[in-house]
Chain A
Amino acid sequence: MTITVKLFAILREQAGVSSLPLDVPEHSTVDAALQQLVNAHPALIQLLPKSACAVNQAYSSRQTLLKQGDELALIPPVSGG
């Protein structure tokens, strides 16, 4: 199945891309998708432990199961305001 990965701020700059499709096995967890993402974009590994994940615009744990068409966003430490 295919999900869309979205990257923001420093992660977007490190990967050089803001959005990318990722083919993952059925019933993959967020964690498994992140492993695949890091293999394709090793620069992301440094900030990954400090980043949160959001599935379809809601903060989600790394054990969350993904579905076809989900939007998985990596949220580096936020600095709004």
Chain B
Amino acid sequence: MTDWIELSPAPLSITAVSDFATDPMAGGIDIFLGTTRGEKNLAGQDLIALDYEAYSEMALAQMRDLASRARLRWPILKLVLLHRTGRVAIGDPSVIIAVATAHRAASFEACRWIIDTLKTEVAVWKKEVWADGSTSWVAGHAMILP
């Protein structure tokens, strides 16, 4: 029942995640990796990495809350939610989510809901680092409160 939820400055291990999510009662384990996508900016510069910054105390509490909300909606056996901070090179994962459930439909749905909700709510930001050394903050999701 205990979930593995972490903000980490170190590279994320997919093997450790799949090991953790393995469960004798599971019929499906959905694992999502969010990775840094190579891009070119309008100046023709190649992206070399994304720099992630988090409001750590709040982001971690929000990630735990996401896990709790997911567990209310789906019968989850194991849940992993890891997010990187610091520099993430092209192709490397910045986020890994794993959801193990008895039947596959719930694991797909829960995994997708977690990443979609994380992107709009959790206090994490990323900055693009280009080959010429220039940087740009990624336009994000504004949460407007009264």
Q: What is A's interface to B at a CB cutoff of 8 Å?
A: 6, 8-10, 12, 50-54, 57-63, 73, 75-81
**Contact among B119, B142, B144 with A80 in the assembled complex (CB-CB below 8 Å):** B119
Contact B124 A73 (CB under 8 A): no
- Using a CB-CB cutoff of 8 Å, which residues 106-121 of chain B contact chain A? 115, 118-121
* Chain A hits for B115, CB < 8 A: 81
Contact B143 A52 (CB under 8 A): yes
Contact A80 B124 (CB under 8 A): yes
Question: Most chain-B Cβ atoms within 10 A of its Cβ — which of A51, A54, A60?
Answer: A54
Size bracket of the B interface = 20 to 34
- Using CB atoms, name the residue of chain A closest to B127: A9
* Chain B hits for A54, CB < 8 A: 55, 58, 123
Among the 9-residue stretches B10-18, B38-46, B133-141, the one with 4 or more Cβ atoms under 8 Å from chain A is: B133-141
Contact B143 A61 (CB under 8 A): no
27 contacts between A and B (CB under 8 A): A8-B53, A9-B53, A9-B127, A12-B53, A54-B123, A58-B61, A59-B143, A59-B145, A61-B145, A62-B145, A73-B58, A73-B123, A76-B140, A77-B140, A78-B120, A78-B140, A78-B141, A79-B125, A79-B140, A80-B52, A80-B59, A80-B83, A80-B119, A80-B125, A81-B34, A81-B119, A81-B124
- Using CB atoms, name the residue of chain B closest to A12: B53
Question: Most chain-B Cβ atoms within 10 A of its Cβ — which of A12, A50, A60?
Answer: A50
In the complex, B5 has a CB within 8 A of chain A: no
* Chain A hits for B120, CB < 8 A: 78
**Contact among A8, A9, A51, A62 with B146 in the assembled complex (CB-CB below 8 Å):** A62
Say how far B111's CB is from chain A's closest CB, in angstroms.
12
With A57-B57, A57-B61, A73-B58: A79-B142 Cβ-Cβ less than 8 Å: no
The CA-CA distance from A59 to B145 in the complex, in Å, is: 8
* Chain B hits for A52, CB < 8 A: 142-145
Contact A78 B123 (CB under 8 A): yes
Contact A79 B126 (CB under 8 A): yes
Contact B137 A57 (CB under 8 A): no
